[in-house]
Every structure is written in C-alpha cells, then in structure tokens.
Amino acid sequence: MNAIPGQAVAHATIDRDGRLVEADPAIASLNVRAGGTIGAVLAVPQLATIARLARRLGIVVSRGVVVAADEADIDLWVRAQPEGDRVRLSASGWREVQPWRGASHASGRAAFDFVRAGGDWRWETDAAQRLTFVTLSAGPAYGFDTLAVLGKPLTALFSLHIAEGATPLLGTFARRRAIDSVAATLKANGRSVLLSASVRLDDAGGFAGYVGVARMAEEEVAPPPPAPPPLSAAFASGLDKALRTPLARIIANADSINAQADGPLRQDYADYAADIAGAGRHLLGLVDDLVDLQAVEGADFTLPRDSIDLADVARRAAGLLGVRAANAGVAIDRPPIDLAVPATGDFRRTLQILVNLIGNAVRYSPRGSQVVVRAAGDGTLATVTVIDAGKGIASEDQARIFDKFERVDTSEPGGSGLGLYIARRLARAMSGDLTVESAPDAGASFTLTLPAQTDPARDQHRH
C-alpha cells in the first residue's frame, strides 16, 4: 500500500443540504468518479455520511474510510468539522489499496459476480453490517433516501421479515452466511424485494461485510410477518451478563480518553472517544430494554401495588433529566412541590415510565422550548401528562409507536423503538394505561394513568 504521490491533506466544504460547495482536486476527482459535480449533493457515500453525522451531532467526527477509485481503492482518514451551516472536510492518508476480490477464497469471486449480475441495484455493508454503499440512483427510483441510509444498520433499509418456509434472514446475517434470492421488504414503502449477497472477507480470512444486490419482486403483496416469540429469561439474563460489564468498561475508558485524564491528546481523537462512549451508552440502554422486554412479556409478570405520590415521582423523573434538558436548551416545568397525587403502583417502574416520557419530550423538543409535566387526580384515577413542543405525531402513527421496535422517524437519533412499548406494558400491569394525543406541528401529549390511592378510613368504614 503506497501513498498516492502529491496527496497530503485535501479539503472540501459541504453545505447544510449536503451539496459540495468547493473541493481540492483530490476530493473533487473522487466525487466526479462517483457521478457528482460541484454544486450537487456529495456523491461519495463514505464522505457524505461523515459530513452528515458531524452536522447532526454538532461535533468534530473523524473516521477511517475506504473509497473506490478506478482499479484501486483509496484508504483515507477523514475529519469533518461543523462550521455554522457548513461542514469542513479534511482527508489525509491517501493510501492506495487493492480492492476486495475474494482472491484468498475461490468461491468468493464467483459469488460476487453472480450477485452483481442478478439484481436491479447493489448494496454493501461493513463488518458491523452497517451500509457502506447503495447504488445512488436506487433511492429516488424505489422511494428512499440513499444518503440517509448510509452508515446505518442494514435493517434501516430492509425489513427482514420471515415468511413461512423462507430463510430467517436475521439469523443468516448473524451467522454471516451468504444468501440467494431471499424475500424482504423496503422499509420506506413496504415494496417486496429479493436479496442476494456474498460474504466479503479481509486479508486474514475474517468477516469484513457483505456485497449484495436487490431485485424488485414482481409480487408486491407479502404476507404479514408472524409475531416473534417472546425472549426467554435465559437469553435475556445471558445477554445482560455477557454485555453489561464489557460495555461499562468501554464507556469508562472512552470517557477517560475524552476527558484527557492521562494527558493531552489530539482533539479529533478525544472527540472520537466521545463518539465511542455515546455508542456504548446506546448499546447499554438496548440491553436494559431487552431485559425489560423479556420481563413484561412473561405470562406471570406482575407488579406490586404500593401507595405512591404520582406528583412526587414526576418531580423526581424531571430532576433526573435536568442536566440533559439544560444541555439541549429545553426547560422542564414540573408539578409544584406542594402538590400530592396519591396513587397505587410500583414506584420504580412508575419512575421508569416517566423518565422515558420526559426524556423523549426533551429529545424531540426544539432548543428554547419547554416540556410541561402536569399531575392530577380525581379520587378514582391519578394522571401525569407530559407535553412537548416537538413536531408532533400524525394520527396514523399514534397507534404503532407503542409497538415493538417502532419509531416514527428512523432517520432521527433515538432509542431502540422499545421504550414506549415497555412503558405501556408496565402501565397496564399496574391497572393503568399510557395514551397519546398529538397532531403534526403541534407537539405531543403523553398521559400516564394509574388507579388513585383509596382512602383506608373509608374502606374500613365500608367493611
């Protein structure tokens, strides 16, 4: 792998809409080879993904990427720095590497040629099964945003449903095996598609991702996927034990690097460590969600019915999210300190529900707005309502947001799609409920309802 003569650091500027405003010759040449021009959307998927991530997070993002260029690939280190409405890209390294050919595995090349010949458009993933390439013209032709799915899991583009008698795609991908004409659907519009893919291997023979094609199926109507079986207690417990400790170590070490606790460090490396810590926290949250999912779907799942002050629980939940809200520029208007709303339920699970609701409200509220938390009771029911100033939820989406793994807009940063499902199951396990009222551009109002605490003196008089 030799450095490309004459290349040191090349720069480019990307505007808020992802268009290439200006570029040094090296980056401009890569963009032209990918079918782009100055003034149009940046056509090099790997560079566009990093620029979009930096703009969305508002921080410097540094990544190593490999970009296809004629007969050889180019190994780059790319740094994206937000500057107002624009992103400044810097590309260094510029090492020429041989593209993957499957030479060390004779069947790899044959599978690759078959895949390329048999589909309407092409896709590729890295070893973590994140999309690294999708044919640029496929998005507009088939109803999705090509650049928006780059860098995201394969499941952001395809719904890997399992029809009766079909290959279980999720299991196949988890075992890193090739597939041939297996049914799936496009997540953007539900259109049926047949996927074929071969396994890409690195120089050491290890798994490096997939090279695949999609062929649009003639039959557009697919049977609905059956409901997945509940997670077993053994699986959830094993997952919790296997992942929690190593994830906690990753987060702690990444935070230490980001804080430069052991001495000065290049800022882009420190920022990269912050990315790692954030990803670790996201995965740890997913582990928590899966453990909760196993619990709430158990046939014998019950919760204690204790006497709680629902207004006090709401104030505590708001307090736990105070720092996050301040960092997001969002104020939380919590119930007054002298208000008490007696209710029956489990304190810990009620707090979990309200942290989820208020956390979502903070996440989707614009900077400078307010999240309002109100508590009330009428002697029969006790309620807490969380009102945000976000973009709202369309009526057709208000039912499905309480389903497993469902989110209104998967292009936005967020959780696993399990939080509201688990929250409603918890509320109903306490003889309560969780509902939503919303409209587009009018924010959303989520209401937790629990039984009001009965008056012991009144009950004793009845008996």
For 388-403, how does the pLDDT look when each residue is reduced to its tens digit (9 = 90+)?
A: 988 888 888 877 888 8
Instruction: Output the pLDDT for position 105.
Output: 41
167 vs 217, which has greater pLDDT? 217
CATH annotation of 10-97:
3.30.450.20
Confidence of residue 298 (pLDDT cuts 50, 70, 90): low
Taking alpha carbons only, the member of 194, 32, 226 closest to residue 23 is 32
337 vs 258, which has greater pLDDT? 337
CATH class, domain 306-458, is alpha beta
> Rounded mean pLDDT of 288-315?
76
CATH annotation of 106-216:
3.30.450.20
DSSP letter at 463 equals: -
Mean pLDDT is highest, among 199-203, 259-263, 314-318, for 314-318
**Percent of the chain predicted with pLDDT > 70:** 72
Checking if the pLDDT of 441 tops 60, the result is yes
pLDDT tens-digit series, residues 346-367? 898 899 889 889 988 998 899 9
Instruction: Output the pLDDT for position 111.
Output: 44
Checking if the pLDDT of 437 tops 70, the result is yes
First to last CA, the chain: 87
Q: What is the pLDDT of the chain when averaged over all its residues?
A: 77
435-448 burial by CB neighbour count: b if 16+ within 10 A, else e? Answer: ebebeeeebbbbbb
341 vs 205, which has greater pLDDT? 341
Q: Can you give 303-359 as a three-state secondary structure string?
A: CCCEEEEHHHHHHHHHHHCHHHHHHCCCEEECCCCCCCCEEEECHHHHHHHHHHHHH
> Rounded mean pLDDT of 413-429?
76
Residue 18: how many CA atoms within 13 Å on its side-chain side? Answer: 19
Checking if the pLDDT of 462 tops 60, the result is no
Instruction: Output the pLDDT for position 185.
Output: 86
Confidence of residue 446 (pLDDT cuts 50, 70, 90): very high
Q: Which residue matches tokens 């405003």?
A: 21
The model carries a pTM of: 0.43
CB 135 within 8 A of CB 215: no
**Percent of the chain predicted with pLDDT > 90:** 19
Mean pLDDT is highest, among 10-24, 126-140, 238-252, for 10-24
Q: How far apart are CA 357 and CA 317, in angstroms?
A: 9
pLDDT tens-digit series, residues 85-119? 899 999 887 777 655 444 344 344 444 444 444 57
CB 303 within 8 A of CB 323: no
Q: How far apart are CA 275 and CA 281, in angstroms?
A: 10
> Rounded mean pLDDT of 123-138?
79
129 vs 167, which has greater pLDDT? 129
Instruction: Output the pLDDT for position 282.
Output: 59
> Rounded mean pLDDT of 9-24?
92
| Length reported for the chain | 463
